[in-house]
Amino acid sequence: MAARTRSGQWAAWAFLAPVAVYLLVFYAYPLYRNVELSLRNYTVRSFVQGHAPFTGFANYIKIFGDATFGPALWHTVVFTVVSLAFQFGIGLALAVFFSRNFRLSATLRALFLVPWLLPLIVSASTWSWMLNSDSGVINVVLGAFGIDPVNWLTSPDWSLWSVTIANIWIGIPFNLVVLYSGLQGISPAIYEAAALDGAGGWQRFWKVTFPLLRPVSAITLLLGLVYTLKVFDLIWIMTKGGPSGSSTTFATWSYRLGFGNLVPSFGPGAAVGNLLIVMALIFGLIYIRVQRRQAHT
């Protein structure tokens, strides 16, 4: 009996080992290196040879005092909140629409997945072409209605909104798929009972659909938040954080500090990246706390 128990334990550790190694190599070690980078004064030479002097929280003090910090924080918040709100709202509306299972429903759902399946470099390049000030299709359409062309990507007033619109378009399919799956888990009998009680369409949505989708909605918003906080390639391809830093977020600022200059600032760049990790961690802990509270009620 003891030998069988011991063999079962070894089998469990054997199944767990690949996951543990993966997490250590691809998550724990890079996180450790990023924290270590942010606490030392790394140059290109010391990055290769090692022996960078320890500076403590000097890199964090430096980025907090940088003139870019305030605007980058605001742009990150606006980009994330607006993206999440529209991605979730439009995704939920489409999920409810497709839950009726009409003819061609499956085909249309598949077509809506295209933005999510395309490589980000393709999506970003496409939106850059569409929003081009001189030959973009958006300005061509606006011109047909007598509206003056808009400098979507080169105007400080429009650049952040342009990359936000592109990010919303990319994120809608993810919300659609997850929320549609959640809707399939709601029993039709609940809707029938609500209809018998005299509930109309809006009442059934707000009193039945939305509350029962709350767990799925929470994880959808959390995953969307983590993804949106770290969006870099879309913004970099479309505007490079410009013009004049008007679309710079923490993600693009971190890259520019670490790799976008002739004299890279690895420490401050890593510090900005760690701030993104902390922001995602805070919302993750909030999600866990809310889920535990709901489980006890």
pLDDT band at 6 (very low <50, low <70, confident <90, very high): low
- Poorest-confidence range of 147-161, 195-209, 222-236, 242-256? 195-209
Domain 69-247 top-level CATH class? mainly alpha
- Residue 213's Cβ-count burial label (10 Å; 0-12, 13-18, 19+) is buried
CA distance 279 to 260: 23
Question: Model confidence over 181-192: pLDDT tens digits?
Answer: 998 888 888 888
Give pLDDT, residue 3.
Answer: 59
Return phi, psi of residue 243, to 5°. -75, 145
What is the C-alpha separation between 172 and 83, in angstroms, rounded?
A: 9
Does residue 2 or residue 290 have the better pLDDT?
Answer: 290
pLDDT tens-digit profile of 200-213? Answer: 778 888 888 888 89
- Note whether 247 and 165 are within 8 A (CB): no
Determine the pLDDT at residue 232.
Answer: 93
Give the pLDDT confidence score for residue 129 in this predicted structure. 93
Q: What is the pLDDT of residue 111?
A: 85
Q: Where are the domains of the chain?
A: 69-247
In angstroms, the Cα distances linking 240 to 32, 121, 159 are 28, 13, 10
**Residue 49 burial class via C-beta count within 10 angstroms: exposed 0-12, middle 13-18, buried 19 and up:** exposed
**138 falls in which pLDDT band (50, 70, 90)?**
very high
